[in-house]
Structure 1
């Protein structure tokens, strides 16, 4: 199925998911006592080889490969490093990291052709901005063997003009966390979620990624992560062997 095949179907699914999400937020707020952390908004089947618990502060190991490292700490903010013709971006995506990346590029002026990612995700808006910076610089993106790209990180991956994932790389998506549990913020959160999802959809279209990625994320609660297969990533154009032009 191509990038723009049945776009109405995809958009309808996303809109329905947002309505359900809004009702769930309000319902949870009405039934729960204040002060407790918000649970996942959907309750899909979270068992199976592709869904596992999500810990943003740790890199998960690959259970199908016993030779991979066990859980390892993940830096609390992105770290940038140049190595040969490669920029390495490692860590959780903290608010302000997009500006820090631009400042690092201006200061370091790397002679690089690709960006290697190893990130458990974080700030969506920063991920989108970093992805746009990568696209404007015409960098390729890559997830190497043993690295992860989870939550918001796949949006950075999507910024590459070429996008590669090694056999031992792990890429995963899920719902994003929407915050506090009082009624007023809940109603505000619904509008915020809709605006955020629209921004993400616009971004994916600009980067040439199939919008069918969105339902895969929206069906997975924020405390879990849906690990994408190589076939899924190729089908969704998240892996891209021919240069993107957008």
Structure 2
């Protein structure tokens, strides 16, 4: 080991050659730049959070351009209806006028129309499937056709509703200018015959876990991932059982939960989410 001090390296020599105070100025401007960067990131986060809060809480219709082939990703509105410039209001059995503007923000309700038709309007929440069963066992016992107008919600309840629809041999439809998103297309799939009217907005996206329970770090994360994977498998199994092409769910898995992949009329037919009388599944 040498007794002599090692000669300063290149960086140290450069620093020693700087005029008095220059190092302090460099440190000051470095801290200033870092602070500005952090502030800019905070502003972007706030703006992003505000935009996401608006998307999640908005109950007023949002005007969006109509999806076209190759341009089908739109924001997912869990409590509102997206409208394109040339879209109107859906005609729904049991309604004399279009549903109220906040109908999508409320738990799904069931309305009996004429000639065996009924409508299901609003969010699919936990317990909606049981409410649907009570409706079919009560005033809706003679229903043969169900019109859907819903932003979706609980996948579990949507699967149960689809099973009920098939057991009761009901037809399903999304009326012209109607909205059927997220878990709602699973209910649509249950129909023994399925239709989507002109300008109907039918879309899918990723299944996601609703936060809840006690935080448990990696274990909770693993449990959530396993739960989501099991739910995806249930969705695909349902589609197969209902004679819908399970390739449909590829678009769901590729689309983030805050967005929606809106299916074109050609895709609705290709995946057999809508049917013709000749291709309707056997009842």
What TM-score do the two structures reach when normalised by structure 2? 0.66
Report if the CA contact (8 A) 1:117-1:143 is conserved. Answer: yes
1:116 aligns with 2:153: no
Match of 1:188 among 223, 244, 248: 223
1:163 aligns with 2:185: no
| CA–CA separation in structure 1 for the residues paired with 2:243 and 2:129 | 21
1:77 aligns with 2:114: no
Q: Which residue of 2 aligns with 1:91?
A: 122
Q: Which residue of 1 aligns with 2:207?
A: 176
State the 1:139 CA deviation: 0.8
Q: Which residue of 2 aligns with 1:215?
A: 250
1:51 aligns with 2:73: yes
Q: Which residue of 1 aligns with 2:261?
A: 226
> What count of residue pairs does the alignment treat as equivalent?
200
State the 1:145 CA deviation: 1.4
State the 1:67 CA deviation: 5.1
Secondary structure, aligned partner of 1:245:
coil
Range 181-190 or range 143-152, more displaced: 181-190
State the 1:218 CA deviation: 0.6
| CA–CA separation in structure 2 for the residues paired with 1:137 and 1:198 | 24
Q: Which residue of 1 aligns with 2:282?
A: 245
1:61 aligns with 2:83: yes
- Which deviations, in whole Å up to 9, do the C-alpha atoms of 1:183-235 show, x marking residues without a partner? 32211111101211111111110000101111100111000011100000100
| CA–CA separation in structure 1 for the residues paired with 2:156 and 2:72 | 26
State the 1:155 CA deviation: 0.2
Report if the CA contact (8 A) 1:115-1:139 is conserved. Answer: yes
Calculate the aligned-residue CA RMSD, in Å: 2.3
Highest RCO, 1 vs 2 (Cα 8 Å, sep ≥ 6):
1
Q: In structure 2, list runs of 5 or more residues that go unmatched.
A: 1-48, 53-67, 91-99
State the 1:68 CA deviation: 6.0
| CA–CA separation in structure 2 for the residues paired with 1:101 and 1:179 | 22
**Which structure has the bigger radius of gyration?**
2
Report if the CA contact (8 A) 1:60-1:72 is conserved. Answer: no
Report if the CA contact (8 A) 1:82-1:110 is conserved. Answer: no
Match of 1:128 among 153, 156, 159: 159
Secondary structure, aligned partner of 2:148:
strand
Change (3 A) 1:126 1:220: same
What TM-score do the two structures reach when normalised by structure 1? 0.75
- 1:140-159 counterparts in 2 under 5 A? 140-159=171-190
| CA–CA separation in structure 2 for the residues paired with 1:179 and 1:125 | 12
Instruction: Select the structure that is richer in strand.
Output: 1
Report if the CA contact (8 A) 1:120-1:150 is conserved. Answer: yes
